[in-house]
Structure 1
Amino acid sequence: MPHRLTRPALPLATAAALVGGLLALGTTDRADAAVPDTVPLKITNNSGRSDQVYVYDLGTQLSSGRQGWADANGTFHAWPAGGNPPTPAPDAAIPGPAAGQSRTIRIPKFSGRIYFSYGRKLDFRLTTGGLVQPAVQNPSDPNRDILFNWSEYTLNDAGLWLNSTQVDMFSAPYAVGVQRADGSTAGTGHLKSGGYTGVFNALRGQSGGWGKLIQTRSDGTVLRALSPLYGVETGALPANVMDDYVNRVWQKYTTSTLTVTPFTDQPNTQYYGRVSGNVMNFTNSSGAVVTSFQKPDADSVFGCHKLLDAPNDAVRGPISRTLCAGFNRSTLLVEPHQPDTTTANFYKDAVTNQYARAVHAQMADGKAYAFAFDDVGNQESLVHDGNPQQAYLTLDPLS
């Protein structure tokens, strides 16, 4: 729940492409029964907050490719034409459950997001190109002072993919789950006890500007921590925050080889990286150069884009996502065979994605989508079922 649903967090338009790649991995738990047009989503409010909760189901209708929203019954409504400047979107808010209560809505076959907010409705606008998502890294965004978050999902004929995401920000905590045909359930996304404040405390205690990722309201309420990508873009983090590590990686692989095996089910598909002329060239088993990477900056590393662009292809994309995971987790110096799936090696270097480190450390099961390709090595907070009976979204305490 990557623009790329399930690698969260880029714009919805990109999510579909991402999910497309994820779906291609296979659906081994697909049952014979056809996936219905809508699936129940049980929303439980364990936040302990008295604020009114508002819920939104926004996305792309997979049968038509149209963007819009779904009401509580799962009925699709296409967005009307937008404008320039953006015009207010129709009110798509669904009243959520009160504290200690649950409410079940139905979600349709979308590639989309389930937003929820506390106390105030979100402000959505429409341009001529479609929906404008909240962008709270912008101080003038109308949603800047609202406590909110979102989950990403894809429901299609092959089943349900539902994840929690921290790719854009860490904010109001929640968990996701799915009930299978045999009655069993799978879930992910819960924080440890004290984990919510634990993430913010870890960032505040980390030198180098990481505490500046935290946004608060004028009344002192902590709203969220921005991802380091937005930290670099807004100047909260220095642009050279990853340079030392990147330089050491480039130096190491000037005289040694980085072996990438991007597909777990294709162990014989390997690519070999060496740095020459400040460029890392990857060759295949025949010695032919298949793709090359300029030395990435922090923006490219944290966003898994730009100099680490990952097209939805069979070669560059899989290599790039492996590199991206290795840079964010700082495993490229300790393990020349990537991806490194040994979690004990993650985030150990002094120069690393401290945001991702803090988030993963506070997750009850260790799983999170703390950067775009956190699913490399199956570290993502994702549930999937080919024949979902019910989905779950649980709003957890802000403590």
Structure 2
Amino acid sequence: MFRLPRVLASVAAALAVAAGVGVWGPAPEAQAVPDTIPLTITNNSGRAEPVYIYNLGTQLSSGRQGWADAAGTFHAWPAGGSPPVPAPDASIAGPADGQTMTIRLPKFSGRVYFSVGEKLVFSLAEGGLVQPAVQNPTDPNRDIRFNWSEYTLNDAGLWINSTQVDMFSAPYSVGVRDAAGQTRTTGTLKPGGYHAVFEGLRASGWGGLIHEGPDGRPVRALSPGHGVSTGGVPADAMGDYIDRVWRHYASATLTVTPFAHEPGTRYTGRVSGGVMHFTDAAGNVVTSFQKPDSDSVFGCHKHLDAPNDQVRGPISRTLCAAFNRTTLLTNSEQPDQDGSGFYRDAVTNHYARVVHEQMADGKAYAFAFDDVGAHESLVHDGNPAGASMTFEPYD
């Protein structure tokens, strides 16, 4: 299998669902999407080091895992081993600073990685590709500055994002060009935004998320979903807010309308016996949630698990977003669409707060379900003529 870190798996699943992959299948009205489209990569980083590009994922026509070369040709991974064995070198030499190059994106659900200065280390286990896990202090990629974009290209079009769900590191933006030649982009930082993210984390007391390289400069900031396990943030970082929410909804009602296109589908939640029970319009209990801990909130898992169904998953996604944005005590009608009220509680997801604050369009993928209410850094077109990825200045 193509192994994703747990929180990025949530984003990949969300992209796949949005793209019509999986239970719904591809949209039949958009069969004109070609087998590959161009991805134009521009290096505006201001860095002199070489850059390496990797296009890894699932070939949608076959379900096989592998990589694509610069021409978009698919190559399946060979068998792995136990212990894992080195993966074939799938790197593509990227553009130098100030230069642009173009590769082809095939119909994948996958990632475009890029690394600065050094190639990434990938290996193959018996279960499939083992990707970098920078929260692991022994990971060979830990001191390499790298990042990735997730995308799905299928017969319904292209979805491509700029993600910070696992970490904030070398900054980049993504774009999609439609058939009329118009380009929509997202993921661009404000001027000075790269350093402002690290400064904001330190100011909030979350500087423990920052990993510095041998030169003493920040390589990345881990998301708090990883920070709980590494000690970068306290294990009870959200505990006070969670306690207040649970007390509040013991005597108040929370209403969740999980589908924007189905305003009549509404569920109401109340805490009873320490458990939040949600009922439908007929008064039937449809799902229940144990009181989450901070890790459940940051990772949108465990007590806030979100299966790919039509009831618990959508409710859980909404709850997860509201907990991270700390809007549950200011708005009992969720999801809250007004971003001006996000992250206002003293106890909040400061990582998501500072990342969103430093984005030119305010959009980011700072936790797995940041797409609730369309606050995520994602662009889509049903008939894409091309895509773009731009490496931005950070030193």
TM-score, normalised via structure 1 length: 0.95
Partner of 1:193: 191
Partner of 1:143: 141
Partner of 2:217: 221
Q: Could you list the per-position Cα deviations for residues 236-278 of structure 1 after superposition, in whole angstroms to 9, with x for gaps in the alignment? A: 2111111100000000100010000001111111000000000
Q: Secondary structure at the match of 1:392?
A: strand
Count of residues in correspondence between the two structures:
391
In the alignment, structure 1 residue 368 sits paired with structure 2 residue 364: yes
Map 1:306-345 onto structure 2 (within 5 A): 306-345=302-341
What displacement does 1:156 show? 0.5
Distance across 2 between alignment mates of 1:228 and 1:192: 22
Amino acid in structure 2 at the alignment position of 1:81: A
Q: Is the 8 A contact 2:175 2:183 kept in 1?
A: yes
Distance across 2 between alignment mates of 1:123 and 1:32: 37
Structure 2, gaps ≥5 residues long: none
Q: Could you list the per-position Cα deviations for residues 281-310 of structure 1 after superposition, in whole angstroms to 9, with x for gaps in the alignment? A: 000010000000000001100000110000
Partner of 1:158: 156
RMSD, aligned CA: 2.0
Distance across 2 between alignment mates of 1:30 and 1:364: 35
Map 1:1-399 onto structure 2 (within 5 A): 10-11=8-9, 17-24=13-20, 34-207=32-205, 210-399=206-395
What displacement does 1:18 show? 2.9
Q: Could you list the per-position Cα deviations for residues 208-250 of structure 1 after superposition, in whole angstroms to 9, with x for gaps in the alignment? A: xx10000011211210000001100112211111110000000
Structure 1, gaps ≥5 residues long: none
Q: Could you list the per-position Cα deviations for residues 350-381 of structure 1 after superposition, in whole angstroms to 9, with x for gaps in the alignment? A: 01000000000000000000000000011000
Distance across 2 between alignment mates of 1:23 and 1:159: 7
What displacement does 1:21 show? 2.1
Q: Secondary structure at the match of 1:44?
A: strand
Distance across 1 between alignment mates of 2:72 and 2:100: 17
Q: Could you list the per-position Cα deviations for residues 29-64 of structure 1 after superposition, in whole angstroms to 9, with x for gaps in the alignment? A: 997661111110000000010000000000010011
Identical aligned pairs, as a percentage? Answer: 67
What displacement does 1:69 show? 0.3
What displacement does 1:22 show? 1.5
What displacement does 1:16 show? 5.3
Amino acid in structure 1 at the alignment position of 2:296: S
Q: Secondary structure at the match of 1:254?
A: coil
Amino acid in structure 1 at the alignment position of 2:203: G
Distance across 2 between alignment mates of 1:64 and 1:108: 12
List structure 1 segments (4+ residues) > 6 angstroms apart after TM superposition. none
Q: Secondary structure at the match of 2:47?
A: coil
